[in-house]
Amino acid sequence: MTLEHPVHVAPPTPEPGLGEPVLGNYFVAAYPPFSVWTAAEVPALNEALDRTASSTPLGVYVHLPFCQKKCDYCYYLSYVAQPAPVVNRYLETVLQEAALYADRRAVKQRPVSFAYFGGGTPSMLSRAQVRRLLSGLREAFPWDEIEEVTFECAPRSVTSEFLVALRELGVTRLSMGVQSFDDTLLAMNGRTHLAADIQRAFRLVDQAGFDCVNLDLMCGLLGETEAQWRESVRRVIELQPDGVTIYQTEIPRNTRLCREFEAGALPAQPVSWDVKRARLGEGFGALEQGGYTVISGYNAVRNPERHRFLYQDHLWGGADLIGLGVASFGYLGGVHYQNRTTLEDYEAAVARGELPFQRAFKLSDHDRLVREFVLQLKLGVVPLAPFRTRFGVDPVEFFADPLQKLAAAGWLTCEENAVRLTRTGLLRVDRLLAHFYDSRFQSIRYT
Ligand SMILES: C[S@@+](CC[C@H](N)C(=O)[O-])C[C@H]1O[C@@H](n2cnc3c(N)ncnc32)[C@H](O)[C@@H]1O
Ligand code: SF4
C-alpha cells in the first residue's frame, strides 16, 4: 500500500563512491546466477535424476504461492486472494509432481532430511489443505527420518487450531514474517498486519510447542527511521523467539516499490545500503546483548546447539533439494533448476505427466566448489577441511587473489582451518561473493 497523497520526491542518485544502486537484488540464493540457467540444460537434470542415489542429504521445498495481498517490496511469485478450488487444484498438482519424482532413481526410497514450506503465505491454507498436502508428501517420500520441517506464516493468518494441526503434522520450525512493529511503516510498505497482530500470533505460536519459532524482520523498509528500527529490534527481543532473521530490504525490478521509484512517485527516499548495513549491525549487536548468537549474515538464534537452521546449512553445504510447485528452485546431482513460472504452464506440464522444469544449469566440479564456498561464506565462517577432502583443493590457494584483496580491505581473515568474515564483512557478505565467481559469471545479470 502507498500513502493516499504521496509526497513526490526525485529518485536518489547512487550512493557516492560506492556505486551501489538502490534498485535490484542483494541476497544471493544461487551460483551461478539465474541469468545463465537455460532450457537447453534441462536434459542434464533428467540425466541426474536417472543416476544412482547419492548419499548427500535430501530436502524438499514446496512453494505455496498464495497471499492475501501483495506487499510493495515483494518479489516472490504469489497469487492474491485465490478461491479454495484453485488452491485445492494446485495442491493436487504438487502431489502429482511429487509422485513423478518418487519413481526416479536418484531420489527413489531416499529419506528426506529437511523440508521447507515457503511462499507466498503457506499459512493461508486451511487445516484440511495442509493435512492433505503433508499426508500426500509422506506417501511420495520416506519422511520418518526428517530433522527439520519449516513452515512460513504471516501474522494475520494464524489460528491456534491451524498451529496445532501443523504440530501434529510434524512441523518443527515455524517462521513468521513480522518485518516491523511500527504500524505506519507496515502500512506504508503494503503489509496487511499491525503490531497487535504480531503479538497475538506470537502468543499462539509460542503456546503451540514448536521446536523453533523464528521471526523475520526487514531493516531499511521504505520510510524507516533509526528510532523505528531500534524499537522493532527491542520488541522482537522482548518476545524472545528462538531465532530472528533480519533481511536488508531489497527493491527488485519486479516490485511495486521499484515501479513507483521509477515513476518518481515514492512517498519517501529508499534507505541507502550504508544505512541498511548499519541497522543490520545494530540489530545483531542488540540481539547479542540479549543473549542471541549470530549464525549467518541474516540469522541470530538463542541456542545455537538447538536452533541451527538446517535447511540453510544443508543447502549451502551441497545437499540435494527437490523443488515442488510453480517457479520452485531445486538442486539435484549438481544441477540447479527452476520449475515453470506461471500457474498455467506448471499445471499443464504436470497434467501431461512431465516434471515441470523450465530451466537448469549443470555445474562442473569447479562450479560446485565455488558455489559451496560462496554460499557458506554467507554463514560467516567456512571450514576448509571439507573442501580439501571433497574437492582435493585448498580454498586458500584456489581463491588466493580474492581472499588477499578482501582481507586487505578488512572484510575477512584467513585462518589455518577456516576463512572467517569480520563483522563488517558479514554485514555486506552478498556484495563480496562475486569476487570469487568464475570469470564467465563476473558482471552478469543476477536474474
Ligand atoms: C515468503 S516471505 C515469508 C512469509 C510471508 N509471505 C510473509 O511475508 O510474512 C519470506 C521473507 O522474505 C523477506 N522479504 C520479502 N521481500 C523482501 C525484500 N524485498 N527484501 C528483503 N526481504 C524480503 C521477508 O522478511 C519475508 O518474511
Ligand atoms: S512478502 Fe510474503 S505476504 Fe507479502 S506478498 Fe510476498 S509472499 Fe506475500
What is the DSSP secondary-structure string of 372-425? HHHHHHTTTEEESHHHHHHHS--HHHHTHHHHHHHHHTTSEEE-SSEEEE-HHH
Which ligand minimizes its atom distance to the CA of 77? 2
- Neighbour-count burial of 140, counting CB atoms closer than 10 A to its CB (0-12 exposed, 13-18 middle, 19+ buried): buried
| Helix 127-140 vs helix 84-102: crossing angle, to nearest 10 | 10
Q: How far apart are the first and last CA of the chain?
A: 26
Contact 76 CB / ligand 2 (< 6 Å) = yes
Is residue 11 very low, low, confident or very high in pLDDT (cuts 50, 70, 90)?
A: very low
Contact 192 CB / ligand 2 (< 6 Å) = no
Contact 71 CB / ligand 2 (< 6 Å) = yes
For 179-190, write each residue's pLDDT tens digit: 999 999 999 999
Nearest to 243 by CA among 178, 308, 316, 301: 301
Which ligand minimizes its atom distance to the CA of 68? 2
Contact 377 CB / ligand 2 (< 6 Å) = no
For 262-285, write each residue's pLDDT tens digit: 999 888 889 999 999 999 999 999
Cell of 368: 560446485
For 129-143, write each residue's pLDDT tens digit: 999 999 999 999 999
Distance 276 CA to ligand 2 centre (A): 20
Which ligand minimizes its atom distance to the CA of 76? 2
Distance 76 CA to ligand 1 centre (A): 8
Distance 396 CA to ligand 2 centre (A): 40
Mean pLDDT of the chain: 93
Answer yes or no: are the C-beta atoms of 422 and 412 closer than 8 Å.
Answer: yes
| Helix 127-140 vs helix 160-168: crossing angle, to nearest 10 | 10
Most informative mutation of 64, 185, 216 for ligand 1 (most atoms within 8 A of CB): 216
Answer yes or no: are the C-beta atoms of 133 and 62 closer than 8 Å.
Answer: yes
State the pLDDT at residue 446.
81
Domains of the chain: 39-314 (3.20.20.70), 366-447 (1.10.10.920)
State the pLDDT at residue 228.
98
Cα–Cα distance measured from residue 27 to residue 320, given in angstroms and rounded to the nearest whole number: 20
Lowest-confidence pick of 147-156, 262-271, 317-326, 390-399:
262-271
Is residue 16 very low, low, confident or very high in pLDDT (cuts 50, 70, 90)?
A: very low
Please report the atom of ligand 2 found closest to the CA of residue 177.
2
What is the mean predicted confidence (pLDDT) over 69-82?
93
Distance 177 CA to ligand 2 centre (A): 9
Distance 296 CA to ligand 1 centre (A): 17
For 362-411, write each residue's pLDDT tens digit: 999 999 999 999 999 999 999 999 999 999 999 999 999 999 999 999 99
Residue with C-alpha cell 507496515?
A: 186
DSSP 8-state class, residue 251? B
Q: Which residues pair with 66 in a beta bridge?
A: 79
What is the mean predicted confidence (pLDDT) over 99-114?
95
Distance 348 CA to ligand 1 centre (A): 28
Contact 338 CB / ligand 1 (< 6 Å) = no
State the pLDDT at residue 353.
97
Distance 34 CA to ligand 1 centre (A): 19
Cα–Cα distance measured from residue 167 to residue 147, given in angstroms and rounded to the nearest whole number: 14
State the pLDDT at residue 443.
78
Cell of 121: 503465505
Most informative mutation of 27, 63, 67 for ligand 2 (most atoms within 8 A of CB): 67
Please report the atom of ligand 2 found closest to the CA of residue 74.
6
- In this predicted structure, the answer to whether residue 9 has a pLDDT above a threshold of 80 is no
- What string of DSSP letters covers 24-85? B-----SSS-GGG-BGGGHHHHHHHHTSPPPSS-EEEEEEE-EESS--TT--S--EES--HH
Contact 70 CB / ligand 2 (< 6 Å) = yes
Is residue 19 very low, low, confident or very high in pLDDT (cuts 50, 70, 90)?
A: low
| Helix 226-239 vs helix 195-208: crossing angle, to nearest 10 | 20
Cell of 56: 548427500
Quickly count: other Cβ atoms within 10 Å of residue 400's Cβ. 12
Answer yes or no: are the C-beta atoms of 372 and 317 closer than 8 Å.
Answer: yes
Cα–Cα distance measured from residue 295 to residue 309, given in angstroms and rounded to the nearest whole number: 9
326, amino acid identity: V
For 403-435, write each residue's pLDDT tens digit: 999 999 999 999 999 999 999 999 999 999 999
Distance 122 CA to ligand 2 centre (A): 10
| Helix 84-102 vs helix 343-351: crossing angle, to nearest 10 | 50
Phi–psi pair at 166, nearest 5 degrees = -60, -45
Answer yes or no: are the C-beta atoms of 174 and 166 closer than 8 Å.
Answer: yes
State the pLDDT at residue 444.
78
Is residue 218 very low, low, confident or very high in pLDDT (cuts 50, 70, 90)?
A: very high
Q: How far is CA 102 from the centre of its chain?
A: 25
Angle, alpha carbons 182-187-191 (nearest 5°): 100
Cell of 417: 582451518
Most informative mutation of 173, 176, 247 for ligand 1 (most atoms within 8 A of CB): 247
- Give the E-state strand segments of 223-325 in sequence order: 243-248, 293-294, 299-301, 320-324
Contact 22 CB / ligand 1 (< 6 Å) = no
Residue % of the chain over a pLDDT of 90: 89
Cα–Cα distance measured from residue 401 to residue 435, given in angstroms and rounded to the nearest whole number: 9
